[in-house]
Each structure stands twice: as C-alpha cells, then as structure tokens.
C-alpha cells in the first residue's frame, strides 16, 4: 500500500540509499564577478597585443576570446581605451611591485639596488614587448603621465634621502646621480624588450655601470 510512496529518508526522490550514493552530485554553477571577468579580459587583451598588435584590441574581441558577448564585455569596460589603460596600469604595477619586493630583501642600499635592477631587467625581458606596445600609444601616455610621475617620485624619494645621508650629497647631486644611473638601466630594459640584447648581457653591463657609479659616489663621500 505504501510501495509507491517516497522514502522520507531519501528526500522526494524515493531512491534507495545505494542509488543516491552512486548518482553524481550536480554542482551549482557559480557566476563570475565583474572583477574576475575584467581580469580575464585583460589577459585576453594582452595576448592580442603580443600576437596581433595593439590595433587589433577591441572590447568585442577581448570579450569573445573568453566567451562573453559584446554586451557583457562592455559591462566590464565601456570603451577600448578603458581596457587598454587598465591593462597598462596592471602591467606597470606588476613590474614595480616585483622590483619593490626584491629591493626590500636587501640589507643595504647597494644590495637593494642590485636586486631591484635584476628584477626590473627580468620583467622587461618578459613583459617589455607588451608594455612598449602599450606605451607607444600617445593617448595612454597622456592619460597616465600624472600617475607615472607620482609613482616615480614615491619610488625615488627614499633612495635620494639615502644617497644624501650615505654620501653627503646635496639633493641636486643625488637627483643627478640617480637620473644617470636610472637612464642606464631603462635603456637596457628598452633594448631587452626590443630583443636587441640578451638578458645576461643587459644584467652584466647595467650592474657593472651602476655599481661603478655607486663606488664613485661612495669615494666622493669619503673624500668629503
């Protein structure tokens, strides 16, 4: 009489415990957040820049690369320039964050400079082609000029203070010395990104010149 009634121990299905145990569990689909989709679109845009050039990047194509509709893509980035600016900011922050993290491991100024130089050149070898393509775009450079100037100032301030204290330099002398040594490393990074120099060569030449400059600064401080 109760043969067709579901067993309350097995919910509404009426399955035996053995059958319920053997049935695969259906996991509920999780909807990705806007932030997750934005990161996926940035990854897609980066691949397009490297493979096909920055001119091929559009919100529609980046969205399609990760299986989104054009409307869903525009929910993440309203305009193409917004997508490209976000990608440039992300790449610049990754380079600076890596450089900053390794510099903190240095117990003294010289070690910090060596570690940060190696980190920067390593990132330029890997990320340089993408960053150079992005920063060649005048609209991107103009939009980020203020942010980049402020980031450079924050990064430079503690180093200049250390140089003044360590070597007895004036602020102007410390700025000039830092500008020259930085220009050497930046040029090496540019050559690396353009595949015109090998990483081992860029590191060897850059570090030898930077260390020579630091020794010159130290000798000047001792003489004073």
Residue 59 falls in which region: left (phi positive, over 0), alpha (psi -120 to 50) or beta: alpha
Together in a domain, 118 and 217: yes
Together in a domain, 142 and 46: no
User: Who contacts 73 (Cβ-Cβ below 8 Å, separation ≥6)?
Assistant: 41, 59, 60, 62, 63, 64
Count of domains in the chain? Answer: 2
Tell me which residue range forms the domain holding 214: 91-221
195 occurs within a structural domain: yes
For residue 189, give the nearest of 176, 201, 175, 177 by alpha carbon.
Answer: 201
78, 103, 133 - which closes a domain: 78
pLDDT per residue rounded down to tens, the chain (224 residues): 455 554 544 444 455 555 555 555 544 446 789 999 999 999 999 999 999 999 999 999 999 999 999 999 999 999 999 999 999 999 999 988 888 787 777 667 778 888 889 999 999 998 899 999 999 999 999 999 999 999 888 888 888 888 888 888 999 999 999 899 999 999 999 999 999 999 999 999 999 999 999 888 888 766 65
Together in a domain, 162 and 217: yes
Together in a domain, 155 and 186: yes
Rounded to whole angstroms, the Cα distance separating 110 from 62 reads 43
Together in a domain, 116 and 212: yes
pTM: 0.77
């Amino acid at each position: 009489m109760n043969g067709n009634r579901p067993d309350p121990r097995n919910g509404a299905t009426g399955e035996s415990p053995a059958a319920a145990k053997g049935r695969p569990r259906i996991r509920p689909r999780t909807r990705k957040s806007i932030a997750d989709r934005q990161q996926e679109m940035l990854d897609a845009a980066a691949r397009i820049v490297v493979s096909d050039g920055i001119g091929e990047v559009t919100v529609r194509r980046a969205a399609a690369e990760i299986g989104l509709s054009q409307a869903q893509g525009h929910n993440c980035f309203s305009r193409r320039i917004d997508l490209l600016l976000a990608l440039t900011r992300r790449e610049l922050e990754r380079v600076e964050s890596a450089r900053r993290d390794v510099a903190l491991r240095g117990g003294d100024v010289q070690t910090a400079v060596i570690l940060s130089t190696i980190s920067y050149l390593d990132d330029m070898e890997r990320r340089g082609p993408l960053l150079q393509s992005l920063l060649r775009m005048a609209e991107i450079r103009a939009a980020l000029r203020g942010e980049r100037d402020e980031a450079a100032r924050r990064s430079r301030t503690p180093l200049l203070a250390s140089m003044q204290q360590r070597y007895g330099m004036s602020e102007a002398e410390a700025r000039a010395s830092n500008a020259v040594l930085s220009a050497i490393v930046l040029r090496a990074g540019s050559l690396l990104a353009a595949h015109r120099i090998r990483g081992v060569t860029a590191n060897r030449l850059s570090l030898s010149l930077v260390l020579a400059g630091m020794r010159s600064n130290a000798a000047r401080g001792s003489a004073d």
